[in-house]
DNA sequence: TCACTTATGGACCGTTCGGTACATAATATT
DNA sequence: AATATTATGTACCGAACGGTCCATAAGTGA
């Protein structure tokens, strides 16, 4: 057993709550008070466990990218074709656009726009995350090309960057309140670029 | 002549300085102190002239979109073809990516990601700006189609939304530190979608 | 039971936040 | 010269900011 007084809160759960808060409100607009409330942690325990607000963000970013990438990899593994995976991921944004609730966008995109230029640590983290995301798309494109659904006239590297770019754009468009039809149209044009 | 004591600062200049500050640092991270310094305005004059930090942002957004749209319209007017205009605008991002200096992205994109979900006034402003931007692209596509450089199998509305989406994505990618080759590749794929 | 270790509650820190109040300064009009 | 009007400088506001400190609580193993 661990020595000393046991934690009264769930670390993973607290981290996830913090992640959602940063995701929803951004870094600056999320106050320590906000975090303590949603994480259900006392201030002492907060600094003891997570170091600082900034370090917490780093951990949240890591959690976000890890779960996102893992989930995408799994989905790709289960997908019928590389192309259908790509289509499914893009079309996931239609649901997001249809939601009446809050549209949080993508934490990586949000953080990039808010902090990347003045915070090198965070910039590095999102750059890595973005590269991982591109990696998944690249794998999907490669598979699609092997399967004969995606033409060979463009490299997986180039096409995956293009896909990431459209994902990033769409996340922002949805957050900005673009209507569902617009999103659908963009996805369709994006998909035809793979044909 | 105007009555009362004359202003000791240039309103337009101050507004533009504020815009650059919001553009560079975002809304929350820009403090009133920051604004007073770059605008070269006393606190009293600030509140007298601009109302509040939030109202100032609204005015900055209006300034940003107006100058952006005006500049794009002029460029389109002078462009040889609708297609070449689109290409030129997209390729402008390559220079941005090459800059050693700060990459501020797009104020509308930044503000959308930071505020749109919780600030309806701002959301409305960026939605209007986005629509204007799309309008310019739409006009360019229409012209390109008339000129025979852009196929007719997709409507100007759809293609312009697609172009806006890639612009938004690219602005964020550049801000996130994407290298020049990546940006170039994305632009190329985007352009082939118009052919 | 007693030390040892870790977690928690709460008081406290100086600083900065956005914003207001008001006396004073600088102009135009009469 | 007096007055009306607008701009500015300065002092001030309460609240919130992120973060520290330390006494106390709640477990462990000896």
Q: Span B11-192: which CATH code?
A: 1.10.357.10
Give mean pLDDT, residues B54-62.
98
pLDDT band at B91 (very low <50, low <70, confident <90, very high): very high
C24 C1' to A27 CA distance, Å: 42
Quick count: other Cβ atoms within 10 Å of Cβ B38?
A: 17
- The CATH classification number of A61-192 equals 1.10.357.10
> CA of B52 vs C1' of C19, distance in Å?
8
**How long a stretch of residues is chain B?**
195
A6: which DSSP letter?
P
Phi, psi values for residue B68, rounded to 5°: -60, -50
SS3 A99: coil
Domain boundary assignment for chain B: 11-192
Inform me whether the pLDDT recorded for B3 exceeds 90. no
Tokens 């902090």 belong to A115
Q: Which of residues 10-39 of A touch B (CB under 8 A)?
A: 24-26, 28-29
C5 C1' – B42 CA distance, angstroms?
55
Count of CA atoms in the C-beta half-sphere (13 A) of B97: 24
Region of A174 (left: φ > 0; alpha: ψ -120 to 50; beta: rest) is alpha
Distance between CA A79 and CA A127 in Å, rounded?
Answer: 26
Cβ pair A176:B118 closer than 8 A: no
Mind listing the pLDDT tens digit for each residue in B21-47? 999 999 999 999 999 999 999 999 999
User: Can you tell me the distance from the alpha carbon of B182 to that of B195, in angstroms, rounded to the nearest whole number?
Assistant: 21
Looking up tokens 């979109």 gives: B65
Closest nt by CA–C1' to B44:
D8
Picking from A103, A168, A171, A188 by the largest number of B CB atoms within 10 A of its own CB, the best residue to mutate is A168
In angstroms, the CA B178 to CA A128 distance is 11
The tens place of each residue's pLDDT in chain A, 195 residues long, gives 688 899 999 999 999 999 999 999 999 999 999 999 999 999 999 999 999 999 999 999 999 999 999 999 999 999 999 999 999 999 999 999 999 999 999 999 999 999 999 999 999 999 999 999 999 999 999 999 999 999 999 999 999 999 999 999 999 999 999 999 999 999 999 999 998
């Amino acid at each position: 057993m661990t020595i000393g007084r046991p934690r009264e809160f769930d670390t993973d759960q607290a981290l996830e709550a913090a992640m959602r808060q940063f995701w929803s409100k951004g870094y600056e607009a999320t106050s320590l008070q906000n975090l303590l409330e949603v994480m259900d942690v006392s201030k002492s325990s907060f600094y003891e466990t997570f170091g600082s607000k900034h370090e917490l963000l780093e951990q949240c970013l890591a959690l976000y990218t890890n779960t996102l990438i893992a989930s995408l990899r799994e989905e790709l593994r289960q997908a019928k074709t590389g192309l259908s995976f790509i289509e499914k991921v893009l079309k996931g944004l239609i649901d997001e656009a249809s939601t009446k609730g809050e549209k949080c966008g993508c934490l990586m995109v949000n953080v990039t726009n808010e902090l990347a230029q003045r915070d090198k640590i965070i910039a590095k983290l999102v750059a890595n995350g973005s590269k991982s995301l591109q990696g998944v798309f690249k794998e999907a494109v490669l598979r699609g090309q092997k399967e004969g659904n995606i033409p060979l006239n463009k490299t997986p590297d180039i096409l995956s960057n293009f896909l990431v770019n459209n994902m990033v754009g769409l996340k922002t468009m949805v957050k900005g309140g673009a209507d569902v039809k617009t999103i659908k149209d963009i996805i369709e044009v994006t998909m035809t670029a793979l044909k």
